[in-house]
Structure 1
Amino acid sequence: MQKFDRVTGVAAPLPIVNVDTDMIIPKNYLKTIRRSGLGVGLFAELRYNEDGSDNEDFVLNKPAYRGAEILIAGDNFGCGSSREHAPWALLDFGIRCVISTSFADIFYNNCFQNGILPVRVTQEQLDALMDDARKGANARIAVDLESQTITRPDGETIAFDIEAARKHRLLNGLDDIGLTLQQDNAIGTHEARLAAERPWA
């Protein structure tokens, strides 16, 4: 899994509440179990017109936001079904951090499995960051996981909380398999001891 330490750049404003996983990645993109290639389907029903052309009014189709790595989103982001394709699509598009007032639990957990940092802030803080994001290329936001801060374009910093274990996971690029492999020596020692104690097993 790709490590996350810091991301700096233009943030895309998505002031929509209750964005569910079907909106993030529609069901017709779920036929694959590959994590790559799903970026094209991210917010497909909002990004594309019926003829398949880009919807120029959608934020991620606007020149200032096409390369956005940070998403400023409305309350209850990632609700709905538990599809892991949602964080896969975000990551494949290039989104490394989503900032909101709240996230659906399963989506929140899936982000940490895929190298995406979901950050919870207060409504007042979200409103300020949303205003910053609306300035496009004229405003850059920095999210630093080590210091657990968001730095606004004017230099103001916003502190955020994150569980120590999840912070460790992202800083070191560890999914569940990676976390298990950190105990490889202990596992090997345990298995060798069992083999010696129970050679018949």
Structure 2
Amino acid sequence: MKAFTTLTSTAAPLTHQGRLMANVDTDMIIPKQFLKTTEREALSQGLFYELKTKADGSPDPDFVLNQPAYQNAGILIAGENFGCGSSREHAPWALLDQGITCVIAPSFADIFHNNCYKNGILPIQLPFEICEALGNQAGGSNHKFTVDLERQVITTPDGEEIAFDVDEGRKASLLEGLDDIGMTLTAEDTISQYERRRSSAMPWLETEAG
């Protein structure tokens, strides 16, 4: 997993009729027809497929990520309850394949929220009013934001700094680029020592190979 430290990137506001989209579920993030693979590459073609594609299969120029200014966005700003619906790890995979490594929203579905951390995406939860203001700025002519995980601060295009909270354990795993397995392996020596002590004290728990 790639470490997340500081990200300076275009922020794309995910809006509908001028408001941040709420209740964007995982089927909207990546529809079921794109779940046939266990590979993490090439999933961006399915990301927000029904939003970014017209009925005839052509790109919808009104969708934010189809617009030239936002095609390389690394930050997504959305409304409440982002990532709700079914549990599918393909949703953060598709965001990563698009190049999005930070999502800012007033709230997230729990499973999606956890899957983000497991895949190197930083989900930032802020009050709706702040998210709305950030979305408005992202929709302007200057939409470059900086997200500093170490300092836990977002710097807006006009230079304002907005603090955000993050669990210390999750923060450490992102800064070091370690998923759950990687974090466990940092204690490999301690685990090995415990296994040796247990084997010596309770040999009957050991089984013969084969």
Q: TM-score, normalised by structure 2?
A: 0.91
Distance (Å, rounded) in 2 between the aligned partners of 1:150 and 1:46 = 27
Of 104, 108, 113, the match for 1:103:
108
Matches of 1:152 and 1:124 in 2, distance apart? 15
CA distance in 1, matches of 2:143, 2:13: 12
* 2:151 paired residue among 147, 150, 173: 147
Partner of 2:174: 170
Q: Give SS of 1:158's match.
A: strand
Between the two proteins, what is the percent identity of the paired residues? 58
Letter matched to residue 186 of structure 1: T
2:26–2:85 contact (8 Å) kept in structure 1:
yes
Q: Distance in 2 between matches of 1:156 and 1:131?
A: 14
Q: What are the superposed Cα offsets for residues 133-165 of structure 1, whole Å, 9 maximum, x if unpaired?
A: 1015x2311111000011111111100011111
Q: Structure 1: where are the runs of 5+ without partners? A: none
Secondary structure of the residue aligned to 1:31 is coil
Deviation of 1:127 after TM superposition, in Å, equals 1.6
Q: 2:44 maps to what in 1?
A: 39
Q: Measure the CA separation in 2 of the matches of 1:106 and 1:151.
A: 28
Aligned to 1:75: 80
Show the 5 A alignment for 1:8-23. 8-14=8-14, 15-23=20-28
| CA drift at 1:198 | 4.1
Q: Give the distance between the partners of 2:122 and 2:10, measured in 1 at CA.
A: 16
Other-structure match for 1:52: 57
Establish whether residue 180 from structure 1 lines up as the match of residue 184 from structure 2. Answer: yes
The answer to whether 1:112 aligns with 2:155 is no
Residue aligning to 2:17: none
In the superposition, the TM-score normalised over structure 1's length comes to: 0.95
Q: Deviations over 1:108-138 (max 9, x none)?
A: 11100000000011122112101111015x2
What amino acid is the match of 1:179?
M
Secondary structure, counterpart of 1:10 in structure 2: strand
Count of residues in Structure 1 that have an aligned counterpart in Structure 2: 200
Are 1:196 and 2:193 an aligned pair? no
- Indicate which of 84, 93, 116 corresponds to 2:89: 84
Question: Any gaps of 5 or more consecutive residues in structure 2?
Answer: 15-19
Q: Please give the root-mean-square deviation of Cα atoms over the aligned residues, in Å.
A: 1.2
